[in-house]
Amino acid sequence: MLTRSLQKMKSTKMSRMLICLFLLIFFLMGCASKTIIKSRPEGAEVYIDNVRKGVTPLEYSDTAIAGSTKSLRLKKEGYRTFDSVIRKSEFQVGPCIGGVLVLFPFIWVLGYPAEHEFELEKLPET
């Protein structure tokens, strides 16, 4: 009887540890969404929500929730400033499975499209 109780406790403890490990990995790996921001011509400065992130081509990643919208601005000397938005609109399988198991990961079920490409308009020469 005592042996049986000890085995049950070990089994429960191991199960809890595995669940905690799974959740930790899921939250660290499954919540971020990334996209590559490109411009024609390359080398434009990228601002997301008015914060400079680098120059194109740029790999951008965040953990914003499904349906999030970020303002995007591209600047390059000799070209018009380009303003747009990027949205999380692509379905992601991982967070959907996690959502079934844990419920609230559904807020990450949408991600960014793999790539965004924008063409900059050259300023008229004076």
Q: What is the pLDDT of residues 20-45, one digit of tens each?
A: 666 665 555 556 778 899 999 999 99
Q: Say whether both 54 and 67 belong to one domain.
A: yes
Instruction: Say what the pLDDT of residue 11 is.
Output: 64
- pLDDT band for 110, please (50, 70, 90 cuts): low
**pTM reported for the whole predicted model:** 0.62
From its phi and psi, is residue 31 left (phi > 0), alpha (psi between -120 and 50) or beta? Answer: alpha
Q: Say whether both 45 and 104 belong to one domain.
A: yes
Q: Say whether both 24 and 72 belong to one domain.
A: no
Number of domains comprising the chain: 2
Residue 36's domain spans which residues? 32-119
In a domain, 126, yes or no: no
In a domain, 104, yes or no: yes
Query: Would you say 109 and 95 are in contact if contact means Cβ atoms under 8 Å apart?
Result: yes
Token pair, residue 65, equals 């929730």
